[in-house]
Amino acid sequence: MAKLVELRKLSKEFYKAYPHNEFPEMESKLGRPYVVLLVEINNIKFAIPLRTNIRHSYCYKFKTSDRETKSSTGIDFSKAVVISKDCYLGEKTDINDKEYLELQEKAFFIIKKFKKYVTDYISFKKNGGNEYIAKRYLFSTLKYFDQILLNALSY
């Protein structure tokens, strides 16, 4: 089977450039590597973390995961980061076989759904929105990359 998706970890350089005390919405726990799905949209590389307990709908939740968790496992769009330097990417990694196969099968759908999340975010930043829309992005990490996103992705 051809590999459709790339899974990596974020490097120590990434966490040095984006320390938790300045970027509190980013996933960051000492000693815990975060697996990310790499996605490119309009020449901007995003790293979208895979998470064990997702309790909101701004994500893709795995349907076939057999891991025991309190909620859903999946890919959390709200915690996506922009990868502006190659040194921010760490080693390649693997995930649960069932989740990996589902990720391969649903890659196009996941990327399309993530692109809509980013597009809607840019529209919100440019045009504003009601409190429901604002709540969608309250804890999003995209806000740390406004300059890049608003300049490069004008939908």
- When mean pLDDT is compared across 26-30, 37-41, 72-76, 134-138, the lowest value belongs to 26-30
**pLDDT value at residue 108:** 92
Query: Is residue 147 scored above 80 in pLDDT?
Result: yes
pLDDT tens for 85-131 read: 999 999 998 888 888 898 899 999 999 999 999 999 999 998 888 88
Q: Between 105 and 67, whose confidence is greater?
A: 105
pLDDT tens for 25-59 read: 887 765 667 789 999 988 899 999 998 888 888 99
- When mean pLDDT is compared across 4-18, 68-82, 86-100, the lowest value belongs to 68-82
Q: Which long-range contacts (CB under 8 A, 24 or more apart) does 99-107 make?
A: 99/50, 99/62, 99/64, 99/65, 99/73, 100/7, 101/64, 102/62, 102/63, 102/64, 102/65, 103/5, 103/37, 103/62, 103/75, 104/1, 104/3, 104/4, 104/5, 106/60, 107/4, 107/5
**pLDDT value at residue 131:** 86
**pLDDT value at residue 49:** 93
This model's pTM is above 0.75: yes
Give the count of alpha carbons within 13 A of 65, CB side only.
22
**pLDDT value at residue 70:** 58
Average pLDDT (81-86) is 95
Show the domains of the chain with their CATH numbers.
7-149 (3.10.129.130)
**pLDDT value at residue 32:** 64
